[in-house]
Amino acid sequence: MSCVPWKGDKAKSESLELPQAAPPRIYHEKQRRELCALHALNNVFQDGNAFTRETLQEIFQRLSPNTMVTPHKKSMLGNGNYDVNVIMAALQTKGYEAVWWDKRRDVSAIALTNVMGFIMNLPSSLCWGPLKLPLKRQHWICVREVGGAYYNLDSKLKMPEWIGGESELRCCVADVLGSVCVDGGPTVVCGGS
């Protein structure tokens, strides 16, 4: 099963047995504007108050105080579109370490006991109604463990997508790194400092 909904195999996912226990309570923030970095951060912390748009704007301004055009992407109206530098600085404000994962490394090297979650940057289409526009976009998603299982907490999903245990997570992350992040989209592994 792919942890990226548009990459999944319907036949595979329909035959997949879901856990029998009642699902845990999962915080899943939904997509607004270009705030996917905010949603990914709040989803990884499982707290809608972990960060606000204003908090990320302050971090952005601190990283690039005297310039209107910066390498730390954002919309000019403060509606989001933040890059990995803003995400990494935001994690540091909460005492967490962010590690930029090199997709050439084997995912079996990730010490999952030290990982709070994954924040991955994936290619995304921009749609206007039923039309898919030919613009290259990026989208931040969160994958993390909740209640003993891993979930895709992509803010574009209607609800969290169950991935499974550690082996399924490693397959999912390897799949994303190997096929979806073809343009070198960053993957941030979030762990305690």
* CATH code at position 102: 3.90.70.40
pLDDT of residue 174: 84
113 assigned to some structural domain: yes
**139 catalytic residue (yes or no):** yes
Pairing of strands 96-101, 131-146: unpaired
pLDDT confidence bin for 101, thresholds 50/70/90: confident
Catalytic residue of the set 3, 28, 39, 154: 154
151 assigned to some structural domain: yes
Q: Which phi-psi region, left, alpha or beta, contains residue 147 (left: φ > 0; alpha: ψ -120 to 50)?
A: left
Please report the sign of the dihedral spanned by the C-alpha atoms of residue 169, residue 170, residue 174, residue 175. Answer: negative
pLDDT of residue 160: 94
pLDDT confidence bin for 98, thresholds 50/70/90: confident
125 assigned to some structural domain: yes
6 assigned to some structural domain: no
Q: What three-state secondary structure class fits 135?
A: strand
pLDDT confidence bin for 1, thresholds 50/70/90: very low
pLDDT of residue 74: 47
23 assigned to some structural domain: no
14 assigned to some structural domain: no
Name the percent of the chain lying above pLDDT 90. 36
Which range has the worst mean pLDDT, 105-109, 170-174, 178-182, 187-191?
178-182
Reply yes or no on whether the pLDDT at 65 is more than 80: no
11 assigned to some structural domain: no
Number of domains in the chain: 1
Range of the domain at 135: 30-192
Q: What three-state secondary structure class fits 90?
A: helix
12 assigned to some structural domain: no
**181 catalytic residue (yes or no):** no
Reply yes or no on whether the pLDDT at 7 is more than 50: no
pLDDT confidence bin for 164, thresholds 50/70/90: very high
**154 catalytic residue (yes or no):** yes
Higher pLDDT, 113 or 34: 113
pLDDT tens for 8-20 read 444 444 445 555 5
Higher pLDDT, 6 or 167: 167
Catalytic residue of the set 3, 36, 142, 190: 36
Catalytic residue of the set 72, 139, 181, 190: 139
Please report the sign of the dihedral spanned by the C-alpha atoms of residue 179, residue 79, residue 30, residue 151. Answer: positive
